[in-house]
Amino acid sequence: MPVASSPREAVAGPPPGAAAEAGGARAEAIAIGAILVVAALVRFWGIGSQSFWLDEVVTAQLVQEPFGHMLSTIPDSESTPYLYYVLLWLWAQVFGHGEAALRSLSALAGVVTVTAVWAGARALVSRRAGLAAGALAALNPFLVWYSQEARAYALLACLCAVSFWLFARALREPTGRVLAWWAFASALALATHYFAAFVVVPEAIALAVLAGRTRAWALACGGIGLAALALVPLAAQQQRGGGADWIGDISLWHRIIEIPKRFAAGDFGNQLNYVFWPVLLIALLAFAVFLVRATAHERRGGLVALAIGGAGLVVPIALALVTLDYVYPRNLIGSLPPLLVAFGAALTARRAALAGAVLGAAVLALSAVSLIRTATDDALQRDDWRAAVSYLEQHDVQAIVVSPANNVRPIDYYMGHLFNIVDPGVNTDRIAVIDTTRAPRGERIPPRRVPGFTTAQVLDTDTYRIVLLRAPEPVAVGPGLALQAAARPQDVRAVADVTP
């Protein structure tokens, strides 16, 4: 039987620092628990209130197909790999195909992203940085937006955040087990979106430089390389299909300056400059203080995170200048988790704690303002195709002219009984012209005059205009008349409602 070496030792209890450590762990657990509750609330609240927009309709139609047919369709209809659609197809078998049901997978991925950002900052920098980065991720408007969208971007951000957390762990303990998990998470990220490579490759290089090119590192990188090679035929086929060629039609410079605005203020960050500019100034000030006041360990961790996240932005932009150009803010969302880790490190430098706390509180308040404004302003939300279709059905419309043309897809999704109009057309005295526009209502051009028809009614909303045209007797509506009626004749499609 063990015997205490002295009576004093028998009653001394735990070491003096143990109680403080336990108390700190409890406080941290409570704090991260509260952060995750907030993260879940802002992602799941009202998740089904907006109708599917065009890209989400593509997703919804895909996952309603039989599994094998869905897989065979993806190479021709999408510009990303299979993983998200496989997971969503399985998810839909349990939860259904409604807006809230399909988006809830992204919302769950969004909460996991917050957890991984916290864990990554904690492993790389400090507990304080972990909580700060987790809070920033919980309320980040860009992450929240894509956590409420039935597309692959929330899963991309999630798996890049998990990859970064495991990368941070591997820097501290580059064992075969940790590196294998990092490789697995990185391969899953690549199987979700090709742009994950712009985060994973810098992580691999940083591990080689900072932790050494060990056999375990080589095996992990080899596994990731094999996963990437397996995706090459799919990527080549999708590139030939040109599904993402529309990106190149937008000025590269415009897309570049949109990246920080959306990262800071959300997908409509360009209209929330009163959020973006203060956040940008706070970030610059925080990093200036961080470089001067951070400890060596804090500075190292923050700069590593900044290098990984920064490379995820700079490298694709550099490639766009010389070769393939697919730079678009949502494609770069995988770089946001490490950037938030760097921001969390900058706000929690031990020797500038008060300044960091004030600046961090300001950023969180600004993020909350952005979320509230987005949630309460229809002009900052997705196109409301459910309401548009309801309006059309109430007014007994038969011929529908849609501009731009691709928006016929969500209208068809919610109506479910449209067919393309070709010559000789459809005889009708009731036409609806739908123009997707976010221009201020007072700046919209008057409806175009159409021979034989008069303008009966104009419905202007924050995201679209519907013009109802009436004729004294039925007129043959074909592609020619559709061109005359369309707000943008260069991009128009005419369809007919064949409701019994």
Task: Answer for the pair 266, 144: CB distance below 8 angstroms, yes or no.
Answer: yes
Question: Using an 8 Å Cβ cutoff, are 125 and 345 in contact?
Answer: yes
pLDDT in tens, the chain (500 residues): 444 444 444 444 556 566 667 777 899 999 999 999 999 999 999 999 999 999 999 999 999 999 999 999 999 999 999 999 999 999 999 999 999 999 999 999 999 999 999 999 999 999 999 999 999 999 999 999 999 999 999 999 999 999 999 999 999 999 999 999 999 999 999 999 999 999 999 999 999 999 999 999 999 999 999 999 999 999 999 999 988 889 999 999 999 999 999 999 999 988 999 999 999 999 999 999 999 999 999 999 999 999 999 999 999 999 999 988 999 999 999 999 999 999 999 999 999 999 999 999 999 999 999 999 999 999 999 999 999 999 998 988 889 999 899 999 999 999 988 888 887 778 888 999 999 988 888 888 888 888 889 999 999 999 999 999 999 998 888 888 888 888 888 888 899 986 65
CA dihedral 40, 153, 141, 271 (to 10 degrees): -150
Give pTM, 2 decimals.
0.93
> What does the pLDDT look like over 459-493, one tens digit per residue?
999 999 999 999 999 888 888 888 888 888 888 88
Q: Which helix (H) or strand (E) holds 427?
A: strand 426-436
Q: Tens digits of per-residue pLDDT, 69-93?
A: 999 999 999 999 999 999 999 999 9
Beta carbons of 420 and 495 less than 8 angstroms apart: yes
Lookup: tokens for 129: 């940085």
Look at the block and give the residue holding tokens 């104009």: 458
Q: At what angle do helices 176-192 and 83-95 cross, to 10 degrees?
A: 80
CA 318 to chain centre: 22
**Which residues lie closer than 8 Å to 91 by C-beta, 6 or more apart?**
101, 102, 104, 105
Distance CA 265, CA 271 (A): 9
Residue 224: which of 163, 156, 309 has the closest Cα? Answer: 163
Residue with tokens 């509260």: 34
How many Å separate Cα 124 from the centre of its chain?
24
Of 290, 329, 287, nearest to 312 by C-alpha is: 329
- Given phi > 0 = left and psi -120 to 50 = alpha, else beta, which region is 226? alpha
Query: Distances from the Cα of 154 to the Cαs of 330, 359, 409, in angstroms?
Result: 9, 27, 23
Pair 189, 163: CB distance under 8 Å: yes
**C-alpha pair distances (Å), 50 with each of 56, 97, 99, 185, 271:** 11, 14, 8, 32, 19
Q: Is the dihedral of CA 229, 234, 240, 244 positive or negative?
A: negative
Tell me, what amino acid is at 148? Q
Helix (H) or strand (E) segment spanning residue 496: strand 493-497
Query: Is the alpha carbon torsion for 317, 319, 323, 326 positive or negative?
Result: negative
Token pair 């988006």 is found at 103
Q: Which DSSP category does 378 fall into?
A: G
| Cα separation, 99 vs 63, whole angstroms | 13
Beta bridge partners of residue 428, listed in sequence order: 475
Predicted local confidence at residue 449, as pLDDT: 87
Helix axes 153-172, 336-347, angle to 10 degrees: 60
Cα–Cα distance measured from residue 169 to residue 466, given in angstroms and rounded to the nearest whole number: 55
Pairing of strands 464-477, 399-403: unpaired
- Token reading at 480: 């020619």
| Cα–Cα distance for residue pair 443/126, rounded to 1 Å | 52
Closest residue by Cα to residue 244 from 58, 80, 437: 80
d(CA 458, CA 500): 26
CA torsion 273-275-277-280 (nearest 10°) is: -140
DSSP state letter for 486: -
Closest CA to 302 of 312, 321, 315, 287: 287
Q: Which residues pair with 436 in a beta bridge?
A: 464
- Pairing outcome for strands 464-477 and 426-436: antiparallel
Say which residues have a Cβ less than 8 Å from residue 30's Cβ, sequence separation at least 6. Answer: none
In which element (H, E) is residue 471 found? strand 464-477
Question: Which tokens go with 81?
Answer: 């790999």
Question: Which amino acid, residue 137?
Answer: A
